């Protein structure tokens, strides 16, 4: 094993606790008295092409003159957003009404009693067109606690100009990707060019990527009877391969162990990588005016190992209402506005993310305005969620340092998974 790139060790615990409390103190409480419009506080991540979201919110306000929406932006990393919610909702904070949640937190927050039960307020007809695996995460014990507003699926971006130059088709398998990358790297002879970048930092993004390698080799996080399948040969081989990408294969730079989504995008968008794993939002970023990658990048379904199939990780963000909110009725109206056809179409046209409403993709106006690659929709239809359980975050927190140790070359997959598997097993037994 090679001791490699020094990992960025982020001490989230105490720092975020203080940050969260400060944050909550600063936002203050709104007066609940008096007449005039009700102001709802909408906590959300800063989404790409964010100014269009405000336009959509303005439209909601125009249709609902008695309601104002105040946005409060959360930090960019999903792990930090999660910390914020846990700290504040754990303290029964009532100073925000609408939550923007990563799909993986919904069962946890629902189980904790932090989300309003939406079952009586949202009809089957409203839910029916929404992406089924995304929606599945919003139900707990037969009650609905959130709605999906956009969905994510891991995809592979590639330099179409370079693949064309060397006569390659986009790779379907990981060994093919490695072969192409090594071939191109050897001939381009450009020290700034990397083979394959992905999210290798110690955070949730690394779990999403590792799961694509593992499932693409026929393995999984949890196997039969929801027991950890981490020490199965399929899982260990996949992790071995990730490590070798940085090591023996020489295809991924050691700096991948410090990359999140945006840092990987910067590398790819500035022409410094042949392949990149990322989410669909990057597609629109690459096409923006002034982007040097406009017309030079392609998009494919994430690869798999020979004899297996591609399984992109399903991500995305969901909306829910804070159980401590004083304006639940108004907040529910906002959720219903966001999942309706016209808003979801607007999200697809302008926000650059993939909406949950499956029918808007067929809309003639959308098809006319956007040349969405067919592979993007294929990725969406193949995507599978991370384990849908209120304990997912605990599972992920056990896995993250171990996966990080593997890709940093500090531990072998066998050693790392021998640490993670019994902890996850114990967690699932005692729940």
Binding mask 242-281 for ligand GLC (x = CB under 6 A): -------------------------------------x--
Size of the site for ligand GLC (CB under 6 A): 11
With respect to ligand GLC, which residue has the nearer C-beta, 386 or 411?
Answer: 386
Closest residue to ligand GLC, based on beta-carbon distance:
315
Q: Which two tokens stand for residue 217?
A: 């080799």
Choice between 204 and 330, CB closer to ligand GLC: 204
Strands 67-74 and 38-45: what pairing? parallel
**On the CB side of 343, how many CA atoms lie within 13 Å of its CA?**
23
Q: How far is CA 47 from the centre of its chain?
A: 12
Question: Measured from the CB of residue 39, what is the shortest distance to ligand GLC in angstroms?
Answer: 27
Q: What residues form DSSP beta bridges with 98?
A: 42, 321
Residue whose C-alpha is closest to residue 334's, from 353, 324, 320:
320
CA proximity to 124, closest of 147, 108, 102: 147
When asked if residue 148 is in the footprint of ligand GLC (CB under 6 A), the reply is: no
Binding mask 201-220 for ligand GLC (x = CB under 6 A): ---xx--x------------
Q: Of 162 and 259, which has the nearer Cβ to ligand GLC? A: 259
Minimum distance, C-beta of residue 165 to ligand GLC, in the bound complex (Å): 32
Cβ(80)–Cβ(24) below 8 Å: no
Q: In whole angstroms, what is the distance from residue 28 CA to residue 358 CA?
A: 39
- Regarding 81 and contact with ligand GLC (CB under 6 A), the answer is no
Q: Confirm or reject binding of residue 102 to ligand GLC (CB under 6 A).
A: yes
Could you tell me the smallest distance in angstroms from the CB atom of residue 146 to ligand GLC?
13
Joined tokens for residue 247: 């090591």
Interface with ligand GLC, residue 315, by CB under 6 A: yes
Q: Least distance to ligand GLC from the beta carbon of 103, Å?
A: 5
Vertex 353 angle, CA 66 and 276, to 5°: 155
- DSSP, collapsed to helix, strand or coil, labels residue 380 as helix
Is position 74 an interface residue for ligand GLC (rule: CB under 6 A)? no
Q: For residues 130 and 333, which CB has a smaller minimum distance to ligand GLC in the complex?
A: 130
Residue from 228, 316, 355, 413 binding ligand GLC (CB under 6 A): 316
Any idea what DSSP says for residue 164? H
Is 78 an interacting residue with respect to ligand GLC (CB under 6 A)? yes
Strands (E), 154-188: 155-159
Piece of the chain touching ligand GLC by CB under 6 A; list 18-26, 102-110, 298-306, 324-332: 102-110
Site string for ligand GLC, 364-393 (x = CB under 6 A): ------------------------------
Question: Contact, 393 vs 108, CB < 8 A?
Answer: yes
Compute and round to an integer the Cα radius of gyration of the chain. 22
| Rounded (10°) CA dihedral 384, 385, 386, 388 | -140
Q: Which residues are near ligand GLC by CB under 6 A?
A: 78, 102-104, 152, 204-205, 208, 279, 315-316
């Amino acid at each position: 094993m090679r001791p490699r790139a020094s990992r960025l060790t982020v001490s989230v615990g105490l720092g975020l606790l203080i940050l969260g409390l400060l944050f909550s103190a600063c936002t203050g409480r709104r007066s609940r008295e008096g007449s005039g419009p009700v102001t709802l506080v909408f906590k959300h991540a800063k989404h790409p092409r964010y100014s269009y979201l405000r336009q959509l919110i303005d439209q909601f306000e125009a249709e609902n003159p008695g309601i104002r929406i105040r946005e409060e932006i959360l930090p960019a990393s999903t792990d930090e957003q999660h910390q914020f919610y846990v700290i504040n909702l754990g303290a029964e904070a009532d100073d925000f009404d609408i939550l923007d949640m990563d799909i993986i937190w919904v069962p946890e927050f629902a189980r904790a009693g932090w989300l309003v039960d939406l079952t009586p307020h949202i009809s089957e007809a409203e839910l029916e067109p929404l992406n089924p695996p995304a929606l599945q995460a919003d139900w707990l014990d037969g009650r609905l606690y959130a709605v999906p507003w956009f969905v994510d699926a891991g995809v592979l971006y590639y330099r179409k100009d370079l693949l064309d130059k060397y006569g390659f088709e986009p790779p379907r398998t990981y060994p093919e990707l490695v072969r192409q990358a090594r071939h191109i790297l050897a001939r381009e002879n450009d020290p700034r060019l990397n083979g394959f970048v992905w999210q290798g930092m110690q955070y949730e993004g690394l779990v999403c990527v590792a799961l694509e390698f593992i499932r693409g080799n026929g393995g999984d996080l949890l196997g039969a009877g929801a027991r950890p399948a981490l020490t199965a040969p399929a899982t260990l081989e996949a992790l071995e391969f990730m490590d070798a990408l940085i090591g023996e294969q020489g295809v991924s730079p050691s700096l991948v162990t410090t990359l999140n989504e945006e840092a990987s995008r910067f590398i790819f968008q500035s022409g410094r990588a042949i392949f990149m794993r990322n989410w669909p939002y990057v597609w629109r970023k690459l096409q923006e005016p002034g982007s040097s990658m406009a017309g030079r990048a392609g998009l494919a379904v994430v690869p798999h190992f020979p004899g297996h199939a591609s399984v992109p990780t399903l991500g995305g963000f969901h909306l829910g209402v804070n159980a401590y909110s004083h304006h639940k009725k108004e907040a529910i109206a906002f959720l219903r506005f966001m999942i309706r056809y016209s808003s979801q179409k607007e999200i697809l046209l302008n926000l650059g993310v993939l909406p949950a409403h499956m029918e808007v993709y067929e809309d003639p106006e959308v098809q006319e305005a956007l040349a969405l690659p067919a592979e993007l929709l294929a990725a969406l239809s193949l995507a599978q969620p991370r384990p849908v359980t209120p304990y997912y975050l605990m599972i992920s927190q056990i896995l993250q340092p171990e996966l990080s140790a593997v890709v940093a070359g500090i531990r072998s997959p066998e050693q790392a998974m021998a640490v993670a598997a019994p902890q996850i097993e114990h967690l699932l037994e005692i729940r």
